[in-house]
Structure 1
Amino acid sequence: MEPDPNNLRDPYKSDPCDEEPPDLECAICFSQFNNVFNTPKVLECEHTFCLECLARMNVKSAQPDTILCPLCRAYTPLPDLGLPKLANDSTVLSYLPAAMQYVYSIRFSRNTGKLQVKRVPSSAPDITQTISQSLDVGTPENTDGSHGMGRDSGRERSLFATILRMPLCRAFIMCSVAILTVTLTTLIITNMKNNK
């Protein structure tokens, strides 16, 4: 292509020199992308998030075969081999340090809520000695609304443990109602005894 003698350029065509580098941190958790659990994964809508955040979203989702983009609300179906097989954002990866150019093979188990490094190659740089081999991303929601692995786990919990898992304001309200009920019952019983 010959240079333009009049130094004119198409205003609708972006100049590669004008392009800004991609955002190198996840828009959900603001962690820097890396080549392990924070690998930049691109959805069909072309928004990029780290693997860890997408795994956390998938564990809590009622639709485990798709990911709902938190920015544009578009659905991305998951590949047959699971969440880690979503496409990597190669543009973001190209901006990472040379030691992070190799993306590790990660396994995701939705049932246990774990991301796990499948294997670390012998040719991997020394940085791999510092990475964790697994990451807990939470427990999946059951169809009945309870957390945990089995349907019976909700029945086995104590009332105290259930209250501790609730947001603070709900726990406070439940405790207040319980105390008020006990107090009113005691007053009514005492009042009935005194009237006899």
Structure 2
Amino acid sequence: ENPPDLECAICFCQFNNVFNTPKVLQCKHTFCLECLARMNVKSTQPDTIQCPLCRAYTPLPNLGLPKLANDSTVLSYFPAAMQHVYSIRFNRNKGKLQVKRVPSSAPALTQTVSQTLDVGNPAGLEGHQGRDGGRERSLLITVLRTPLCKAFIMSLVAILIVVLTITIILIKNK
């Protein structure tokens, strides 16, 4: 039997036991947790993941993406010290993967691997409109994060401060 592919078919990074843990979908295709998290953050269907190879859908476990089954065949090819998979938390709203707890048997992790990984901003709330006008708010946040808009707003604030200062000086001198 041929050995399994030991790298993710999306990012081509070698699988590991932290953020690049090999996760197997219902269709039996395996990808790293980081790539699946990046896909899920951009997806408008947060409760499922669509296989990028065969397009089959895999419903996510109740406790989220990190609870998808690990590919035990791939893990069996790791050195013994790497066969323990770290407990990872996925916060979709913040677009972050976090190491939940580091076992005392693996203090080296703190020097070699970041405790948090940013996987991108969540997809907008297209078609979903809460009582607080969620779609408008997310659009406003997107616009305000654009560097050109930030520069424009900062310039407007600076001009406003100059105009107010001149007005106050003119009023005081009368």
The TM-score range, normalised by the shorter chain, is 0.7 to 0.9
| 2:72 is the alignment partner of 1:87 | no
| 2:140 is the alignment partner of 1:155 | yes
Contact 1:99 1:127 in 2 (8 A): no
Query: Structure 1 residue 97: deviation in Å?
Result: 1.7
Q: Which has the higher contact order (CA 8 A, sep 6+)?
A: 2
Contact 2:89 2:100 in 1 (8 A): yes
| 2:104 is the alignment partner of 1:126 | no
Within-5 A mapping of 1:66-105: 66-105=48-87
Let me know the Cα RMSD of the aligned residues. 2.4
Query: Structure 1 residue 161: deviation in Å?
Result: 3.4
Matched pairs, number? 143
Deviation string for 1:22-45 (max 9, x for gaps)? 000000000000000000000000
Partners in 2 of 1:78 and 1:64 — Cα distance? 8
The code of the aligned residue for 2:20 comes to N
Q: TM-score, normalised by structure 2?
A: 0.75
SS of the aligned residue for 1:95 comes to: coil
Contact 1:61 1:141 in 2 (8 A): yes
Query: Structure 1 residue 160: deviation in Å?
Result: 6.4
Contact 1:33 1:39 in 2 (8 A): yes
Runs of 4+ in 1 over 4 A off after TM superposition: none
Deviation string for 1:11-32 (max 9, x for gaps)? xxxxxxxx11100000000000
| 2:33 is the alignment partner of 1:48 | no
Distance change (3 Å), C-alpha of 1:141 and 1:20: same
2:95 alignment partner in structure 1: 113
Distance change (3 Å), C-alpha of 1:159 and 1:55: closer
Distance change (3 Å), C-alpha of 1:150 and 1:101: farther
SS of the aligned residue for 2:76 comes to: helix
1:27 alignment partner in structure 2: 9
Distance change (3 Å), C-alpha of 1:127 and 1:133: closer
Mean Cα displacement is larger for which, 23-32 or 125-134?
Answer: 125-134
Q: TM-score, normalised by structure 1?
A: 0.67
Deviation string for 1:149-190 (max 9, x for gaps)? 974242353596369xxxxxxxxxxxxxxxxxxxxxxxxxxx
Return 5+ residue gaps in structure 1 as ranges: 1-18, 164-196
The code of the aligned residue for 1:161 comes to P
Return 5+ residue gaps in structure 2 as ranges: 128-133, 150-174
2:44 alignment partner in structure 1: 62
